[in-house]
Amino acid sequence: MDYPKLIEEALKAREFAYAPYSRFLVGAALLGKSGTIYRGCNVESCSYGPTNCAERTAVFKAISEGEREFAAIAIAGGPEGEQSPLAHTAFPCGVCRQVLAEFCPMDFPVIVARSPEDYEVYTLGDLLPQAFTPLSL
């Protein structure tokens, strides 16, 4: 799997983030098993509750286009104005981890990146141990 290419797509997605309140821009690139890459960015709302994370944006975009199986996700984020390499890694929030668990197995790769050369790979199971999944029902 070409993690650097997926990270580059996440960095491109980050450019479209709408984060006027937190100024923390996040991009995600979700690789479908079909080979299609679905980009997502965070979209904030002044009332915070309707805010949507980059990871969920990518997942919902993929699902709405008929993709149901995924190979990996790359996430790149950090404060507005920073140039690559990013100073931080942006891990998925709890809600995004739960949404990923709806569609992905626990060995699903989650790549958190500062740049295409500087990244870490975790499994969804690492990030969401004892997950509540459709198999829990």
Dump pLDDT digits (tens) for 63-111: 999 999 999 999 999 887 655 555 678 999 999 999 999 999 999 999 9
8 Å CB contact between 37 and 31: yes
pLDDT value for 56:
98
- CATH code at 3-136: 3.40.140.10
Question: Which residues carry out catalysis?
Answer: 55
pLDDT value for 67:
98
Q: Max Cα separation, the chain?
A: 44
pTM, rounded to two decimals = 0.93
For the chain, what are the domain ranges?
Answer: 3-136
Q: What is the mean pLDDT of residues 41-57?
A: 96
Which tens digit of pLDDT belongs to each residue from 23-39?
999 999 999 999 999 99
